[in-house]
Amino acid sequence: MATHDAVPKPSTPDTDDTSIANATRNASVDERKLENGRPAHDSMGEKSEMKLVSLEPEDDPKNIPHFRKWLVVLVISSAALCATCTSSIAASAESGEALDFHVSKEVTILGISLYVEGLGCGPLLLGPLSEFYGRNPVYWVSYFLFFVFSFPVAFAPNIVVFLIFRFISGFASSAFLSVAGGSVGDMFTNETVASPMAVYTISPFLGPVVGPLISGFINQHLNWRWTYRVQIIWTFFELLALIAFVPETFQPAILKRKAQKIRKHEHIEVYALLEVENKGLLHAITVSCYKPFELLLFDRMALMLDLWNALVLGILYLAFQAFPIIFGEKHGFNVQMTGVSFLGIGIGLVLGTLSQPLWNRLYKRESLKYGGRPPPEMRLLMGMPGGILVAIGLFWIAFTTFPGVHWIVPLLGSVPFGTGIVYVFTATFTYLVVAYRPIAASAMAANSALRSSFAAVFPLFAGQMYNRLGTVGATALLGGLTAVMAPLPFIFYKYGARIRATSKYAVA
């Protein structure tokens, strides 16, 4: 029979900052315990005699067999890849949609924008739900709804239905941008989490690059609706894999089920902490909705870093309209070859991810200078070359888009752009989690909301900008904007500690 503790054992604070996952998975719980800077009311004081079920080794998700852990990582990473790939598969289908729905191409671009906006809004709701019901119920329900709501997109009778359900399907699929990272952190220790987290982290950014590649081949040979039919088939198999291979990894949810089972079969009154804590779902959702925007309004460091991320992601999504102009109109690529032109960014993303062990070793070496407890600003080291590479990649593309220059040259320019994306986001994500640890979930939600807004808006003006400024001027303008933002990691590396000392949100 399971053992029980009358009083919960105090948790050990996370002293290893190498893990972004361990900070984020408990962040929202920390936020609910902070009300106006003071601990919230703890209902356990009134139930001190209540027996709490304990976590046995066989219950601990960290003790799952190594092969099974990696299988879970690959399944949730592929599910995240599918969700974000669905955002950009619409790019190559826009001409067919405009023809069938009798609308302009600019209207069909909303198919990308609304889906991305759904991806940004969804985490505000799905994040708190996972803390009450566990990871798996959120995965299963959200992905099932993603699957179901993709049918009205594929078989839409008019543009209104198409656009409405693009937003809804994006909202439903967003669980893998807000919850899945927690599953990886649940299963791995601080010492072993870096590699699996790197695999998961690249998936949401690789997905938008893979989208045009897939849809380009489909739309070159089939009706545009097959773009979404193929996506539905992919989503169905991902749903089956989630149900078959992904166990519950959220410890409070595991303990809750264990306590319920003991009460039912052994008739012993034991409870899980999740059952007796004084938590309200509505309050959690409310905090999840307003706290990120409060952070953006009142913390200038978080705002600047989030704007930097938003600009970079906005440019990535703008590329779905720019590359057809650069490679399609200037170099005569057909639909499927225009999709292939995104391989440069994809290669850059993979190269950036493969270099992660080098950065881990650098971080450990630098950490020794601070006795193993480096300041959060150490996380910005990776962002320094990242910002420079993004700007270099865009200027490279800008000044090689002339028809007389071989197409491989601008395509090669997109490789450092892709590598820079990995460095920028990895540096910013880890810094936000460590520097804003008490409200890490809100810090990441604020970043996600602003990123998604830029990614939704940028494609809408891409065509007009490139028509007016030309491929050189428009791409150079984007490169100039990223060059202006590139000094941010250098500035915050030097002055971040001083800024954090004056912030009521960041750790001092």
Per-residue CA distances from 12 to 9, 193, 250 (Å):
9, 18, 17
| pLDDT recorded at residue 12 | 35
| pLDDT recorded at residue 132 | 78
Give the H/E segment covering residue 12.
none
Cβ contact 269:263 at 8 Å: yes
**Would you say residue 194 has pLDDT above 80?**
no
Give the H/E segment covering residue 504.
none
**Would you say residue 158 has pLDDT above 90?**
yes
Rounded-to-integer distance, Cα 18 and Cα 206, Å: 23
Task: Encode pLDDT of 313-335 as tens digits.
Answer: 999 999 988 999 999 888 888 88
Cβ contact 59:254 at 8 Å: yes
CA 242 and chain centroid, separation: 18
Tokens of 184: 């990886």
| pLDDT recorded at residue 29 | 45
Rounded-to-integer distance, Cα 272 and Cα 258, Å: 8
Cβ contact 68:234 at 8 Å: no
Rounded-to-integer distance, Cα 162 and Cα 214, Å: 20
Task: Encode pLDDT of 47-59 as tens digits.
Answer: 446 787 777 777 7
Per-residue CA distances from 476 to 115, 358, 397, 399, 483 (Å):
28, 31, 8, 8, 10
SS3 134: coil
**Would you say residue 149 has pLDDT above 60?**
yes
Q: What is the DSSP letter of 135?
A: H
Cβ contact 462:318 at 8 Å: yes
Looking at the chain, the whole-number percentage of residues with pLDDT higher than 90 is 40
| pLDDT recorded at residue 236 | 96
Average the pLDDT over 484-499 and give the result.
Answer: 92
Tokens of 261: 């089972």
Report residue 52: phi and psi, to 5°.
-110, 140
Q: Using alpha carbons, select from 192, 197, 231 the residue that is nearest to residue 211.
A: 231
- Residue predicted with more confidence, 410 or 27: 410
Task: Encode pLDDT of 85-109 as tens digits.
Answer: 999 999 889 889 999 999 988 899 9
Report residue 53: phi and psi, to 5°.
-75, 145
| pLDDT recorded at residue 45 | 47
**Would you say residue 274 has pLDDT above 80?**
no
Confidence of residue 175 (pLDDT cuts 50, 70, 90): confident
**3-state SS, one letter per residue, for 298-313:** HCHHHHHHHHHHHHHH
Angle among Cα 429, 433, 439 to the nearest 5 degrees reads 130
Q: pTM of this prediction?
A: 0.82
**Would you say residue 491 has pLDDT above 90?**
yes
Give one DSSP letter per residue of 426-466, joined into a string: HHHHHHHHHHTGGGHHHHHHHHHHHHHHHHHHHHHHHHHHH
Confidence of residue 419 (pLDDT cuts 50, 70, 90): very high
Confidence of residue 155 (pLDDT cuts 50, 70, 90): very high
Cβ contact 420:397 at 8 Å: no
